Structure 1
Amino acid sequence: MLNLQMIKRRLESQIIEALKRSPSVALLGPRQVGKTTIALNIAETTPSVYLDLENRRDLQKVQDIEAFHVENSDKLIVLDEVQRLPEIFAALRGIIDKQRRKGNRAGQFLFLGAASIDLLQQSSESLAGRIAYLELHPVDAAEFAGNSLDKLNSLWVRGGFPESLLSASDRNSLDWRHDFVRTYLERDIPQMGPRIPAETLERFWTMLAHNQGAVLNASQLARNLDVSSTTVGRYLDLMTDLLLVRRLKPWTTNVGKRLVKSPKIYVRDSGITHALLNIPDYNGLLGHPVVGGSWEGFVIENLMSVVPSRVQPYYYRTPGGAEINLVLEFPGGEKWAIEIKRSSAPSVSKGFYAGCEDIKPDKRFVVYSGLETFPMGEAITAIPLSNLMQKLLEQS
């Protein structure tokens, strides 16, 4: 049985490198994704002090952060759950600048937060030029599955949260995910400020899971929940800020055609999707109507965990039927078009061909559930998920 220490998290080395060049680093990701484990690993090799800002005693220690820093200026200060104390960033600017004048230009603070980069940046604008942002995704196929289809399917069913993925049984894994959902609804989201009934938000989250990968129809969701479309937008903003839901933007560059312009919505972790829908195991997933959307979302999240910085993800769709599941636009304008198929013997739809005619991508891939990479004609390559992830890592 694997444990978390046996899964090498790729981001750990990137955090260490970022701490060597930046005074502060913010490591972001949803709860229970492994941020604290990585921080404690780094603390084993670097003189450090770790504080959990959800702990009242630790929170009290940083009420005067300048005094605390004076006592610990020779250490890396790790502040966990930093979104609980956003006002701390204003004081940190002066501390960091004072250390810079002394020649200490890197490795002073490591922040851990369970909120999106956009949300945290609003609080930490005073640290512009003094902070690097990194996002820790759940365990992905490159870290866990390699070329094993059994491991890949287990990751797909259970998702990438370590406690779920490494549970002793599917039953235990599903129980953990149900508890995860309940904790977010009853404790974490209320602590973020919004006063939303847990039952309403759970219904909303479950609706998104049922419609995994669908184009957002806010008015339909609003009717089902008996709320306004504006309220649906507020719920969606919240779930996106908490890194639980992805809004995949449409490709809107002018190609001389009408385009679908609403985002596609995905519950980011496949295991959470399956928990919301009470799908217990692999066989149950194969027989469920969400199976295609679940696989599509799973592939997209795994690819997004390895895309180089500044690569922009989109989907492409026209009312006439041209469609590309994922378009990656690289700095400089290079484009990759990616079709996602669950079949082990993939075929390419007419919509993908039509979409490629419209946007003229530089590379065309079909991600499928097999193990071999092979050409499919018309410059299209069929490729396993792990192999395409490796290609993206090589672009970094």
Structure 2
Amino acid sequence: MATQHVARRHKEEVLRRLKQVPAVALLGQPQTGKTAIGRAIAAEANGIYLDCQDWETGKMLAGGGLREFAVRNAGKLIVLDEFHQQMGLLEDLSGAIDEHRREGTGNGCFLLLGYGSIRDANRADASLEGRVSCVQLNPLDVLDLSGAGEEEVEMLWLRGGLPASFAAADDASSFEIRSDLNRNILSDEIIEEGMRVGYTQLRKLSVLLAHSQGRPLNVMEICRIMTLNPRTVRKFVDGHRKRLLARALPAYYRHAKKRLKNTPKFYYRDSGLLHELLGVKTAAALKAHEMAAMSWEGFVIENILCQLPEEAAARASYYGAAGGAEVDLVIERPGIGLWAIEIKKSVKRAPSRGFHSACRDLEPARRFVVHGGSLGCYKDRNGVEHMSLPDMCREAAAAFAP
């Protein structure tokens, strides 16, 4: 497959919402392509692009400057990149939006670009509630790739969904891009989170967490190995979660027949960043690596969950009970019921006994096995639906559409 720019379907969603509301926030983890989309929209709309990390821009916008700037440029779309770097802008932004509403100057006045989740943005400043519509920009997923076959899916799994990494000329270049990004992420966290731990130790902690992929996070064991205090580890994990770099998949708890696991499972959300921490540079090395199965599990989970509305993805869980009953991913929604999903890399792998046992406990509306092949969808004699990852993503997108 020739690597090239992959158009993001999120751009059309942003344009649609800008026609309906005064302000839209495009949120996601670093390097997912927010700036590229924002610049493209600004250019097409003859708007104004501002980088809030720029010192002169920050000085101009401070102290009511945003409202004055918006008045001087009434009728133009203003794109504020890295707006989270200037959190004092949020109250100013609320006032500017209200002025536009009073003056009837129309929708599509502001586009905000920043990292974090929709829920975190809504909690950041209560004054934004009801004023800003949020769109989540995830890394590339299998539905972003036109007619994704096994080769494309394998490449996305190895390199991850960050556009620059995926579109690199070769695997070595992709690995270098991800090495630089992981280095920058740790440096930023030291500054922004006020971490009292040096870069080298945080890198070791990141690698240790990479080897915890897909497992319940044992903070005390990590502290023992790293000689760190629990507060530091939790702060680091929380910082990764807020930046959408990591996921804590909660345990399913609405079942009283058996004693259930209750510790969230830890996942790096981008498989490419995970593989850089594991030192995996090629597809052959990945398939032979001891963490390949857990890496594939996290990759599949992220691809499925990014097809769901944010509130549905936030309620996703895993099921684990005494005796080995387990489901890798549980998703549910009123009117649809509960889906139980088992994740396998091989097409030929049958569901485990633990999966069948868990399904007897949960009584799901639908049961799935997601595999890494391109074999068409079919049901086995037990009624379990077997699907490739692209097929499963299309099924989830259609069923959970707003």
TM-score range, shorter chain: over 0.9
Number of the residue aligned with 1:152: 153
Which residue, 373, 392, 395 being the options, matches 2:396? 392
Q: How does 1:184-203 map to 2 (within 5 A)?
A: 184-187=185-188, 189-203=190-204
- Cα offset, 1:164, TM superposition: 0.8
CA distance in 1, matches of 2:146, 2:184: 28
1:328 aligns with 2:327: no
Q: Distance in 1 between matches of 2:146 and 2:173?
A: 20
Is the contact made by 1:302 and 1:389 (CA closer than 8 Å) also made in structure 2? yes
**Aligned-pair CA distance for 1:231:** 2.6
Aligned partner (choices 377, 380, 383) of residue 384 of structure 2: 380
Identity of aligned residues (%): 36
| 8 Å Cα contact 1:243/1:268 also seen in 2 | yes
SS at match of 1:342: coil
Q: Secondary structure at the match of 1:21?
A: coil
Post-superposition shift, 1:321? 0.7
> TM-score under structure 2 normalisation?
0.94
- Contact residue 74 and residue 105 of structure 2 kept, 8 A: no
Measured against aligned partners, the alpha-carbon deviations of 1:207-235 in whole angstroms (never above 9, x if no partner) come to 11112101111111111111222332221
Paired residue for 2:351, among 342, 348, 353? Answer: 348
Tell me the residue number matched to 1:365: 368
1:334 CA displacement:
1.3
Please tell me whether the aligned partners of residues 325 and 340 of structure 1 are also in contact (alpha carbons under 8 angstroms).
yes
Distance 2:307 2:9 in 1: 9
For 2:392 and 2:86, how far apart are their aligned partners in 1?
A: 39
Residue 173 of structure 1, CA deviation: 0.7
Q: Which residue of 1 aligns with 2:27?
A: 28
Distance 1:35 1:89, change over 3 A: same
Distance (whole Å) between structure 1 residues aligned to residue 387 and residue 39 of structure 2: 36
Contact 1:211 1:290 in 2 (8 A): no
Indicate yes or no: 2:26 matched with 1:49.
Answer: no
1:220 is aligned to 2:221: yes
SS in 2 for 1:261: coil
Aligned equivalents of 2:318, 2:102: Cα separation in 1: 47
**CA shift for structure 1 position 96:** 1.0
- The letter of the residue matching 1:65 is L
Deviation, structure 1 residue 188: 5.3
CA-to-aligned-CA distance 1:78-132 (integer Å, 9 cap, x gap): 1111110111111111211121122245212111112233433332321111112
Contact 1:25 1:110 in 2 (8 A): yes
1:226-305 equivalent positions in 2, closer than 5 A:
226-305=227-306
1:294-344 deviations in Å (ceiling 9; x for gaps): 000000111111113431211000122110000111134611111100012
Partner amino acid for 2:19? Answer: K
Report the Cα distance in structure 2 between the residues aligned to 1:163 and 1:115, rounded to whole angstroms. 20
Letter in 1 for 2:361: D
Amino acid at match of 2:355: F
What is residue 212 of structure 2 aligned with on the other side?
211
Counterpart of 1:60 in structure 2 is 59
Query: Any idea what the Cα deviations from partners look like across 1:219-261, whole Å, max 9, x if unmatched?
Result: 1111111122233222111111111111101111133221100
Give the aligned CA root-mean-square deviation in angstroms: 1.6
Is the contact between residue 319 and residue 329 of structure 2 (CA under 8 Å) also seen in structure 1? yes
Q: For residues 160 and 166 of structure 1, do their structure 2 counterparts lie closer, same or farther at Cα, with a shift above 3 Å needed?
A: same
Distance 1:202-1:163 versus aligned 2 partners, 3 A rule: same
Equivalent pair of 1:118/1:241 in contact (CA under 8 Å): no
**Deviation of 1:269 (Å):** 0.5
Name the aligned partner's letter for residue 56 of structure 1: W
Name 2:131's counterpart in structure 1.
130
Q: In 2 relative to 1, CA 188–225 (structure 1 residues): closer, same or farther, beyond 3 Å?
A: closer
Relative to the length of structure 1, the TM-score reads 0.95
- Alpha-carbon distance in structure 2 between the residues aligned to 1:308 and 1:119: 15
Distance of aligned partners of 1:255 and 1:17 in 2 relative to their CA distance in 1, 3 Å threshold:
farther
Asked if the contact 1:30–1:114 (Cα under 8 Å) also holds between the matched residues in 2, the reply is: yes
- CA spacing shift, 1:306–1:153, aligned 2, 3 Å: same
Partner letter of residue 366 of structure 1?
V
Give the corresponding residue for 1:78.
79
Structure 1 386/189 Cα, relative in aligned 2: closer, same or farther at 3 Å? farther
Structure 2 residue matching 1:378: 3-state secondary structure: coil
Unmatched segments (≥5 aa) in structure 1: none
Distance 1:188 1:75, change over 3 A: farther
CA contact (8 A) 2:258 2:322 kept: no
CA contact (8 A) 2:195 2:232 kept: no
**Paired amino acid for 1:40:** R
CA contact (8 A) 2:189 2:239 kept: no
